[in-house]
Amino acid sequence: EAAEKGGYEHFMLKEIYEQPKAIKDTMGCRISEDGSHVQFEELNWTTEDVTSIGKIMITACGTAYHAGLLAKYFIEKLARIPVEVDIASEYRYRNPLTDSKTLCIVISQSGETIDTLAALKEAKRLGARSLAITNVVGSSISREADQVAYTWAGPEIAVASTKAYTTQLVTLLLLALYMGRLNGTLTADEESRILHDLTAVPDVCRKIFDCADEIKAMCSSFEGKEDVFFIGRSMDYGLAMEGALKLKEISYIHAESYAGGELKHGTLSLIEEGVPVIALATQKDVEEKMISNIKEVKARDAYVIGVVQEGDTEVRKTVDTLITVPASDNFVVPIMAIIPLQLLSYYIAVSRGNDVDKPRNLAKSVTVE
Ligand code: G6P
């Protein structure tokens, strides 16, 4: 097993560090050589294949569900197709409004999660077209779906998902760009501009690893803390949900994620002196609003860790400490911004002496209901 860990103390850490390669492999030949456009050969859709979609229904569990939440922003903003995202175990039992004009996208690292597989079968029964995004070739979900787009993350062993998540985001962003071009909502310039930043990710995200020691040192702020809040707006809200899940899964600290604007409707009552708040503020279009939310929790003496893009000048004035991620397009930055949160959760879990790769009560793949 030590050999399989390739010198890392845990599979999770190894898999975090494998992300640059996993992301590169997932982009692979899905981007034209000149970097100008997406070419999804395995899908080979026509304009009609996209314009005939009335609605997209995304369903998944756990971390894959969180990838789906971000995909809603990607697809609705870039391809202007309405997207619903539902937890697979909810979708199945709610008599969903799905028909032949629905494209059902299921996301699953393992391709074996029973609730996701059952949701896919239900969508098909109702007449939907289906597309699976999965990491395991030949898995049950890949066989059941009409079409498959694989994430090329390689085997993921640690229970807490890391590289599967970032490669799901890459695949979903490529899909959104592909659909946006086919249905004419996206300009060629916008597509190549986003792709320019996306193709840079495998190299520039390594800068985050240079800050690993700083992130590790932040663990001391979590000593003795049993409640942590993650806040964010827009795509950072989806990211906040995944950040909180990572922390809960392996550190066993209670973590909640909130949309910045929702704080005042309840959660603010839980903020008191020294409560750690991780404020995701990478999305430029909502930065000013996020700063107001940070001020709201600072006024209650929370300890705020801000996550910003390189070059930030404003958020840093309002927080206690800062995590910086490489500057990039708004759609691309979440793919990088989750990495420091994965590292932070990892180091906190290690500092608590937890079994990081096999957290209590959890399984890598849930094949029972
Ligand atoms: C389990 C794992 C999670 C994972 C979820 C969905 O709960 O512990 O990490 O996100 O299943 O798994 P899937 O293989 O369908 O992505």
pLDDT band at 9 (very low <50, low <70, confident <90, very high): very high
* Cα angle: 259, vertex 260, 264; to 5 degrees: 105
Q: Which residue has the tokens 């996020």?
A: 290
Mean pLDDT calculated for residue range 307-332: 96
Tokens representing residue 32 in the block: 């034209």
- Determine which one of 121, 289, 358, 364 is catalytic: 364
pLDDT at 2 over 90: no
Tokens representing residue 106 in the block: 């299921």
Please name which of 77, 69, 80, 52 lies closest in space to residue 105, comparing C-alpha atoms.
69
How much is the pLDDT for 6? 87
Establish how many alpha carbons lie within 13 A of residue 145's alpha carbon, considering only the half-sphere containing its beta carbon.
Answer: 29
pLDDT at 3 over 80: no
pLDDT digits (tens, 9 = 90+) for 164-223: 999 999 999 999 999 999 999 999 999 999 999 999 999 999 999 999 999 999 999 999
How much is the pLDDT for 1? 76
Ligand 1 atom at minimum distance from 61 CA: 6
Distance 35 CA to ligand 1 centre (A): 32
Quote the percentage of the chain above a pLDDT of 70: 100
Q: For residue 157, give the DSSP letter.
A: -
| Residue 364 annotated in active site | yes
Which residue puts its alpha carbon closest to atom 3 of ligand 1?
62
Residues 142, 354: Cα–Cα separation, whole Å? 34
How much is the pLDDT for 83? 98
Which residue puts its alpha carbon closest to atom 2 of ligand 1?
364
Give the CA distances from residue 320 to residues 234, 254, 291, 330, in Å, rounded to whole numbers and listed in that order. Answer: 23, 21, 13, 24
Q: Which residue has the tokens 């760009």?
A: 177
Q: Looking at the chain, how many residues does it have?
A: 369
pLDDT at 369 over 90: no
Which amino acid type is present at position 323? I
How much is the pLDDT for 267? 86
Q: For residue 318, give the DSSP letter.
A: T
Residues 327, 314: Cα–Cα separation, whole Å? 15
Confirm or reject: Cβ of 108 under 6 Å from ligand 1. Answer: yes
Mean pLDDT calculated for residue range 336-359: 95
Confirm or reject: Cβ of 110 under 6 Å from ligand 1. Answer: yes
pLDDT at 122 over 80: yes
Spell out where the chain has E strands.
55-60, 83-87, 102-108, 129-134, 147-150, 227-232, 254-259, 276-280, 303-309, 321-325
pLDDT digits (tens, 9 = 90+) for 93-111: 999 999 999 999 999 999 9
pLDDT band at 85 (very low <50, low <70, confident <90, very high): very high
How much is the pLDDT for 116? 97
Which residues are CB-neighbours of 330 under 8 A, at least 6 positions away? 235, 282, 283, 284, 285
Residues 198, 81: Cα–Cα separation, whole Å? 22
Quote the percentage of the chain above a pLDDT of 90: 92
Distance 251 CA to ligand 1 centre (A): 17
* Global pTM value: 0.97
Q: Do 287 and 315 form a contact (C-beta atoms < 8 A)? A: yes
pLDDT digits (tens, 9 = 90+) for 57-76: 999 999 999 999 999 999 99
Q: For residue 299, give the DSSP letter.
A: T
